[in-house]
Amino acid sequence: RISGPGCPGARSMNQVATSASPAAGWRVWLPGLVVLIGLLGLFRETAVAMVGIWSHSDTYAHAFLVPPIVVWMVWRRRAELANLTVQPAYAALPVVAALCLLWLLGELAAMNSVTQFALVALMAVTVPTIFGWAVTVALVFPLLFVFFAVPLGEALTPMMMDATADFTVAALQLSGVPVYREGLQFIIPSGSWSVVSACSGVRYLIASFMVGTLFAYLNYQSTRRRAIFMVVSVVVPVLANWLRAYMIVMLGHLSGNTLAVGVDHLIYGWVFFGVVIGLMFMVGARWSEPDAPAPIPAATADRANSTNQQASGHAWGAAIGVLAMAMATHAFLWKIEQTPPAAPSALRLPATLGADWQALAEPLSPWVPAYKGARSTDVRAYRSVSSTAGIWAAYYQGQDYEHKMVTSANFVVSPNDEGWGMVSGPSATVTLSGGPVVFKSAVVRASSGVGDSRVQRLLVWHVYWVGGLFTSSDARAKLQLALNRLTGEGDASAVLMFYTPLGNDPAQAEAVLRQLVAGSLVTLGSQLGAVPGPATAVR
């Protein structure tokens, strides 16, 4: 039976919330606020670095909207929260400890993405730790939405650049436009084009997924509809970016390169993206199903009121546990970083490698990898009986966020290098006495007029050396670096590039590099391990 406004027993949901809020009010949530402020203070460098990425990268500028949106989503559920029972979940404390360890490993390896993800996850996990699962279920969407603040997604850029180039070239060919493609660069009769990082569509994808997720949460009650629209918000910007790239090239081609170039290129891209996203929301709104939450009975509010008064002490205990783990993490990091630095030593490649390779006086090629922050670099050309090859090496020690080997800012060939281009190839494996070693492979190509015509196309194999371990995996190199620092073994690392002229016989070039690597990698590893230097960075 529904009581009318004049019935003595009738109480609205707002009245229930008001009656519960004085007793279960701000004091209940104070431990969470203290922990939030404490975590931001302890991990302030990580938080500042994250905001800095928002400020300097158009890809993540949308993240400035995430904190106020999360606060608003929590505030709009304040009536429901006021009537929930607070019961700290101490079982979540091991997750807090694991996230503190993850942050520590990311800090030791100077990985912004890991430290920032760990910090945001740590703040989210404090909700069940301090307030319990009932509150967590009520806030599950805001707690997941906050991860949009983490600047993740750049790793998708190379893959999406390749996909954009594939689609654009295929669409041009279907349109009857002849295309010659090499890597991310292609030539059509009206001019040459290249797919750069801004053309990958990553920024469109991330922004669309964020607003699409928020739209689905606010407009649908069905989990199925929400999931479908979130998938659509991922697929649509990818397809739209492919179509945008094709249309830009066609507009330039048909207009004699007077339209869709320069600034027009960027303006056209964002306008097209805005129109596509607007249409996506218009279509999605046709199936919206807003539904007001059901009122909470007064008995529930009264029961929560009494329970929350008793749970206040437990919430403070959980809050102290979270802050204690965070402070212990920083104390351990401080201890690791107290190793005194030694004077950096210069890396020098040997004059001979085995019995077959002798160093030449001049480098083999003017090409130089775009690796920054190295403490020392060296390059040498070598000759065997019938072959020539080169080695370029960069040695890293005392690594920090400004001087690190594995980073998205280091390239075999810089995307902005107009003199050289690169096409990635399949990995290569060389079996040595210690087991197989996998190398990343690429073909480096010079623009016309750069260097000797005989070395304008190079086959390049590259691998990381991290404290005695050879690996071509960025993730494995970072993890090994963090573990080495954690166990006191230091952060000595190097990147090695082996290269030889490609010529007209790729199989012969591969055989040359295989011979060079087999005869030199063990020697180079021993030499790198003998280079003295500081074990850790002192901040």
Token representation of residue 92 = 């979540």
Helix axis angle for 298-336 and 93-108, nearest 10°, is 30
Reduced to 3 states (helix: H, G, I; strand: E, B; else coil), residue 405 is: coil
C-alpha distances (whole Å) from 539 to each of 196, 312, 401, 449 are 35, 39, 10, 45
Residue at token pair 């009318």: 4
The rounded distance, in Å, linking the Cα atoms of 210 and 207 is: 5
Token representation of residue 199 = 């053309």
The rounded distance, in Å, linking the Cα atoms of 142 and 119 is: 16
Give the residue among 174, 186, 238 at the shortest CA–CA distance from 212.
238
Give the residue among 452, 449, 297 at the shortest CA–CA distance from 362.
452
Per-residue pLDDT of the chain (539 residues; tens, 9 = 90+): 334 444 444 444 343 333 333 334 567 889 999 999 999 999 999 999 999 999 988 889 889 999 999 999 999 888 888 888 888 999 999 999 999 999 999 999 989 999 999 999 999 999 999 999 999 999 999 999 999 999 988 878 888 888 999 999 999 999 999 998 877 888 888 888 888 777 788 888 998 999 999 999 999 988 899 999 999 999 999 998 898 888 888 888 887 766 655 545 556 666 777 788 888 888 888 888 866 555 555 445 445 454 555 556 678 889 999 999 999 999 999 988 876 655 556 788 888 887 789 999 888 888 999 999 898 899 999 998 888 999 999 999 888 888 899 988 899 988 777 778 888 888 999 988 778 999 999 999 887 555 554 557 899 999 999 988 999 999 999 999 999 988 888 888 999 999 999 888 889 999 999 999 988 888 888 888 766 543 333 22
Q: How far is CA 53 from the centre of its chain?
A: 12
The rounded distance, in Å, linking the Cα atoms of 232 and 220 is: 14
Residues constituting the chain: 539
- Greatest Cα pair distance in the chain: 104
Please check whether residue 145 is in contact with residue 213, taking contact to mean a CB–CB distance below 8 angstroms. Answer: yes
Rounded to two decimals, what is the model's pTM?
0.80
Mind giving me the DSSP string for 16-85? Answer: HHHHHHHHHSHHHHHHHHHHHHHHHHHTHHHHHHHHHHHHH-GGGGGGGGHHHHHHHHHHTTHHHHHTSP
Reduced to 3 states (helix: H, G, I; strand: E, B; else coil), residue 343 is: coil
Phi and psi at 100, nearest 5°, equal -65, -40
The rounded distance, in Å, linking the Cα atoms of 212 and 219 is: 10
Q: How far is CA 281 from the centre of its chain?
A: 28
Q: How far is CA 522 from the centre of its chain?
A: 33
Taken in order 27, 29, 32, 36, the sign of the CA dihedral is negative
Q: Which residues, in sequence order, are CB contacts of 275 under 8 Å at separation 6+?
A: none
* Side-chain-facing half-sphere of 78: CA atoms under 13 Å: 14
Please check whether residue 182 is in contact with residue 138, taking contact to mean a CB–CB distance below 8 angstroms. Answer: no
